[in-house]
Amino acid sequence: MTDHDLSTLLSAMASPDPTTRDGWAYAELSRGILSGRFAASSDEIRASAIDQLSSPHVQARTFAPLTLAWLVLAGDRDRGAFEQLRDWYTTESDTRGYDDRLGWLHAVAHGADYFAEAVKAGIAGGGEVLETLAVRMVFDGQAWHDQEYARVAGAAIVALSVDPGGHTVWLGKVVDALAEFERAPQPARPPDWIHNVYTTLAAAYVALCEQPVDGQQPLIVAEASAIADAVARLLARMTPWLLRTRAEADGGVSY
């Protein structure tokens, strides 16, 4: 197997050819970072990934979080990278999961993966990661069709395992967005963010009620039952025709 130099790999991670970007470049760069092969070049790798977040090319933007996540796994603890990625994540408008020409893009999923690593590494607090995820959930953009909801829910569970009290911020932003939506004239079809919120909360609820894991490692979430109850109340509020919580959910608008 030929080892490519770092410059080639960083450029290839922005390639529009999915067999390049999501093929050999992805595999070799991740292996090189995690093995320590590129340990002396962490600053260069980080700077390249951050620069890609403002690229005009969507595939470059959406693969940058993966590079930053690998750096965190290899020991990088740069707070500035978190802040740059948070700013991008909460404003990115192209959230397609998959494109027939470009292949996997997955902005929402890749960003969530990074945030899970950032909170585990102590780069960011659980509460601020949960707030970031909530902002993305209620963003007025495209519906998520490629299991982004599960990746966001997974990152939220990781953050809750570090800071269970952060659920008030996470769910509070959703409550505020729903209240604003309910006050407005109801459209014939709900906006796509309603779908994103519901599927993410449903995935989080199941995980909280069962055994959440990070990869294959069990996660302990203090007050998981109480948090699950709060999530269930929101789900019941959004689909009162489907369920009531055991504590009798408040009535709400049917979406």
CA distances from 141 to 93, 102, 159 (A): 7, 20, 24
234 closest CA partner among 191, 176, 147: 176
With cut-offs at 50, 70 and 90, classify the pLDDT of residue 245.
Answer: confident
Summarize pLDDT for 194-211 with one digit per residue, the tens: 999 999 999 999 999 999
Q: Where are the domains of the chain?
A: 1-124, 125-255
Contacts of 53 (CB under 8 A, 6+ apart): 61, 64, 84, 85, 88
Q: Are 157 and 204 in contact (CB under 8 A)?
A: yes
Amino acid present at 206: V
Region 16-20: what's the mean pLDDT? 98
Contacts of 197 (CB under 8 A, 6+ apart): 137, 138, 174, 177, 178, 238
pLDDT at position 40 is 98
Region 13-36: what's the mean pLDDT? 98
* pLDDT above 60: residue 89: yes
* pLDDT above 70: residue 252: no
Neighbours of 120 (CB within 10 A): 18
pTM confidence score: 0.95
Summarize pLDDT for 210-225 with one digit per residue, the tens: 999 998 899 999 999 9
119 closest CA partner among 108, 133, 107, 106: 133
* pLDDT above 90: residue 3: no
